[in-house]
Amino acid sequence: SSNMEDSVSLKFHQQLLLISENLVTEDVAALKFLCTDLLHLSKLEGVKSAVDIFKLLMAQEYLNAKDTFLLAELLYRIKCHSLLKKLGYTKEKVQEHLHEKGRVSLYRQMLYELSENITNEMLENIIFLLQNCLPKRWITLSALDLLILLEKQGVLTRDNVQILEEVCDKVSPDLLETINCYKEAKEHIFSSPDVRTAVAKLLKELGVLPSFCLTEMHKSRCVLLSSEQKGTVVDGIFCFNPRLQSLAAESCLLHTDENRAFFFFLQNMTSYKMDGPHRGFCLVINNVKFKNSERKGSCKDVEQLERVFTWLGLDVKTCQNKTSQDIINIMQTWQHLQDHKNRDCFICCILSHGESGAIYGTDEELVSIRMIMSHFTAKQCPQLAAKPKLFFIQACQGTDIQRPVYVDAQIPVVPSTQQSFSLSESIPEEADFLLGMSTVDGCVSIRHPEKGTWYIQSLCSKLQLLVPRGEDILSILTEVNADVARRVSPSGTMKQMPQPAYTFRKKFIFPVPTDPPPS
């Protein structure tokens, strides 16, 4: 028995070591921050690695070989989903149990989510605005460090986030959505100790709260949404939804119409609205025939795109073999389309030859990707203002790897008089854009003459697999990156790495279609 326990303990510690080795410095900083409410700050300040955090959690009996859920929750919160399998979990399994086992408070989740959306430029501006509140010799390392300092000084607490509201309103009003979502939830949190005690007792009897929880339960563990209408709290029926998202993931919601509306409000705060009468248009431009080459296999991609995006509820329109001027004219036509007004989003897929930051028309003239996207900014296309606009570009972005048949490298030589573009200049500047590139700057994009391109085939496959699971588009594109990166050409010498760029302010989640995937 002793030998068996030693074996289990050794395996457990090996798991923790392996997880630690796969976490970078930023991940360790995020874990420290999320554990701030669980561990003494003085002990966390001495942490140098993930192993140090694991030791502290084990010392406080938060983590052991028989119960690894807290670590699974932490890895889930920092989006290290691939490490969950080392603990025997999946992303879906963690989500399913968050409502009953989650320990990271709503307040801590809100701060972490906020830090993830603060860019370096925003951070500099926030520090400038707060310079009178900060120590003169304090060296800024990250948004998390700033939040911890504000908490130490007592100007930021779970009951007072005014300082964050003020600076976010001046630096980037979009950040206020995360704070407002937290405040909306907090307005319904039990404030009376007697009420919290009664509910805690009930939840323990129901087996929702572990017996070792203090009777004075943590405020964030129970959200009151309709106590006045129900008379008393314990008269309500508690329901636990494993799909609870974002800041509401660990809350116990009372089962009323008002509460369901509130739940959907929380979801809408962090996701784009995708429940309109029409999903949107999907424009596909497929250039196959050029003067000196033909992009064989591209029609296979178009077939897949048409099937998958139709399945997702979009109206797909396909254009074949367009010159550079044709492409510009098409963009101008779609820019002024009044039908966008009643639709949730807009998607554009362009399949062609290309160079850095541009795609070719069939006349072998380049069209800037930035210019194509500029037709759909809020100013140029007000019907799509604040709506998600997704562009998927299947084209080479250079000729670093040259193959005559199987890649989109069969491109015409660019005359010296033609304008050159940079892929970095294609990254969208305005909010609500996503640009999915099939390859990184300077490289070719691989295409099979019969099966189509690696990128488009993987994109369609992952959409069919992951949309029914409720995954957002960025998570799906991450899976596409991993899938394409694993592939190797028959010669064993060619690989490919897609590259997404985005300015989304919320999650983009396709509603799950009622029909099964098309293939």
For every one of its 519 residues, what pLDDT tens digit does the chain have, with 9 covering 90 and above?
566 666 778 899 999 999 999 999 899 999 999 999 888 888 888 899 999 999 999 998 899 999 999 999 999 999 999 999 999 999 999 998 887 788 898 899 999 999 988 888 899 899 889 988 888 776 767 899 999 989 988 899 988 999 999 999 999 888 888 898 888 776 654 444 444 554 455 444 444 444 444 443 333 333 333 333 333 333 222 333 333 333 333 333 333 333 444 444 445 557 899 988 899 999 999 999 998 899 999 999 999 999 999 999 999 999 999 999 999 999 999 999 999 999 999 999 999 999 988 999 999 999 999 999 999 998 899 999 999 999 999 998 887 653 433 345 443 444 444 555 555 555 556 889 999 999 888 788 888 989 999 999 999 999 999 998 889 999 999 999 999 988 888 877 788 889 999 999 899 999 999 888 897
Determine the Cα–Cα distance for residues 479 and 55; give it in Å rounded to an integer.
32
**Residue limits of CATH 1.10.533.10 in the chain:** 7-104, 109-190
> Would you list the DSSP string of 286-313?
E--B-SS-B-TTHHHHHHHHHHHHHHTT
- Which CA distances in Å does 245 have to 252, 262, 469, 496? 12, 12, 13, 33
CB 517 within 8 A of CB 468: yes
Task: Note the pLDDT of residue 364.
Answer: 93
223 strand-pairing partners: 189
Among 50, 48, 87, 38, CA closest to 66: 87
Let me know: does 65 contact 84? Beta carbons within 8 Å: no
CA distance 39 to 45: 10
396 included as an active-site residue: yes
Pick the CATH number of 109-190 from 1.10.4080.10, 1.10.533.10, 1.10.3720.10, 3.90.226.10: 1.10.533.10
Cα-based distances in Å from 199 to 186, 196, 211: 17, 5, 13
Residue 383: other Cβ atoms inside 10 A:
17
Indicate the helix (H) or strand (E) that contains 120: helix 120-129
According to CATH, where is 3.40.50.1460 located in the chain?
Answer: 279-402+428-503
Active site residue 222: no
The CA distance from 475 to 493, in Å, is: 28
Catalytic residue among 168, 282, 381, 396: 396
Q: Where are the beta strands (DSSP E) in 321-414?
A: 343-351, 354-355, 358-360, 366-368, 389-394
For the record, the structure tokens of 94 come out as 């963690």
* CATH top-level class of 279-402+428-503: alpha beta
CATH node for 7-104? 1.10.533.10
Please tell me which residue in 188, 340, 353, 375 is annotated as part of the active site.
353
Q: Which of 385, 284, 306 is nearest to 340 (CA)?
A: 385
C-alpha 99/C-alpha 355 separation (Å) is 49
Q: Tokens 């554990």 label which residue? A: 35
